[in-house]
Structure 1
Amino acid sequence: MATILVVEDEKPINDLITMNLRLVGHQFFKAFGGMEVPPILEREKIDLILLDVMLPELDGFELMRRIRSLNIPVIFITAKDSLADRITGFELGADDYIIKPFEILEMLARINVVLRRSTKEQSTLIIDDVEIRTLERQVYKLGCAVELTAREFELLDVLIQNRNIALSREKLLELAWGYDYEGETRTVDVHIRQLRKKLGWEERIKTVFKLGYRLEVPGEP
């Protein structure tokens, strides 16, 4: 289930939304004004924001302008029902726009659609000319499928999840193989060599002297 931030200044509506989110298994945080949102986003991992437009201190449209670079899915829930307002919402990057009053079941259905879309997008990563689809466990280079063994894909997935982080051979074995491997660790070197060759990542998967390996992805944290 997802963690959802509900930004709504009317407490009864905020309570109604969060009560129903809890009933279907989602976790949530509440905010009652626009200025409350940035600190929450700094300390919590939020999967979706339900955002009112008419908020105290900082309205939803202006807040969206400030946070859209974070690439968190946003659904506007607002009484502003004019075509111009809806266009503004979508132009700012909103994933959906729900007009008050709304049916709870419809809101939950729209949330599910946005979450499914977001999960699918996040499960695909493109590095150079290589596309990795983690959910489908498929890899493509220049549009052509790359045949990886199960172990090679598990190792690739671990590198991707920990990109730009140096991992020891022992830690790679533990994460990719699922158990502690005592003794010989050259099997990691063999699988890394195969990944480099198949993906053309000789310069992308770096050897960390006396430690292990690091997948370097520019622009990533």
Structure 2
Amino acid sequence: MQKTRILIVEDETAIAKMIAMNLRVANYDAVIYEDGAEAAKGLEQDHAYDLALLDVMVPGMDGFTLLPIVQEYGIPVIFLTAKDDLASKIQGLKGGAEDYIVKPFEVLELLVRIEKVLARTKPEEHTLSVLNLEIDFEQHTVRQDGKEVSLKPMEFELLAVLARNKNRAISRENLLRMVWGVEYIGETRTVDVHIGQLRKKLNLADHIKTVSKLGYRLEE
């Protein structure tokens, strides 16, 4: 299966490389442009992208100007920018961007938002295999060695986040935000309880590792 390709238009080299590195770890292909005009020119030759991450303040052509050009090729856009004023957010979202993320950001949150956009715009890819599990996001089912295992909705969502970020440690607070949408450090015990249920129902005690003083990691 061909990897999902993501275009990055970001003039801060360190940030662009950090994003690209994490995307590749998550099994995406990433292409970087540090100039908006060069990105527009490059799209004329190669526009086979599944998603674009655009900074607003890039040289050559700013992200707002580049947005409709990217959209001409049917590429969904997430703005990734330091411009956190309301007017800029409204301009980006009204212009048709799928999301607007303000710097600084956490990489895991970015990956989750990318997955959500891809799920909306690329719905044909709705299964994920990890260990002896097949997770079907469209049917909301999990099969282990071909046999369906019944999971509660939040157990399913938690497993999905762990599987999509396999071999990466995720803090309890991030799991709360990514699964339950909680934006503050709160009842992390909720995460522990659901982890316990996943370990029991799927016999994953040896694969869902506790990361001391942090959270959990699904190892494959």
Report the TM-score, using the length of structure 2 for normalisation: 0.53
Aligned letter for 2:17?
D
Work out which of the two has the higher radius of gyration on C-alpha atoms and give 1 or 2: 1
Counterpart selection for 2:112 from 93, 109, 113? 109
Counterpart selection for 2:4 from 2, 11, 15? 2
Question: Partner of 1:15 in structure 2?
Answer: 17
Q: What are the Cα deviations for residues 22-72 of structure 1, in whole angstroms up to 9, with x where unaligned? A: 111100111001011123323331110000000101100011133322221
In structure 2, C-alpha distance between the alignment counterparts of 1:33 and 1:23, rounded to whole Å: 25
Q: What are the Cα deviations for residues 102-129 of structure 1, in whole angstroms up to 9, with x where unaligned? A: 0000000000000111112899xxxxxx
SS in 2 for 1:120: coil
Question: Partner of 1:85 in structure 2?
Answer: 88
Q: Following TM superposition, where does structure 1 have runs of at least 4 consecutive aligned residues deviating by more than 3 angstroms?
A: none
TM-aligned CA distance change 1:38 to 1:60, over 3 Å: same
What RMSD, in angstroms, separates the aligned Cα atoms of the two structures? 2.1
SS in 2 for 1:41: helix
After TM superposition, the structure 1 = structure 2 runs for residues 62-77 of structure 1, keeping only pairs within 5 Å, are: 62-77=65-80
Matched, 1:100 2:103: yes
After TM superposition, the structure 1 = structure 2 runs for residues 1-221 of structure 1, keeping only pairs within 5 Å, are: 1-44=3-46, 45-120=48-123
Unaligned 5+ segments in structure 2 are 127-137, 140-220
Aligned length: 125
In structure 2, C-alpha distance between the alignment counterparts of 1:122 and 1:102, rounded to whole Å: 26
Percent same amino acid among aligned pairs?
Answer: 47
TM-aligned CA distance change 1:92 to 1:15, over 3 Å: same
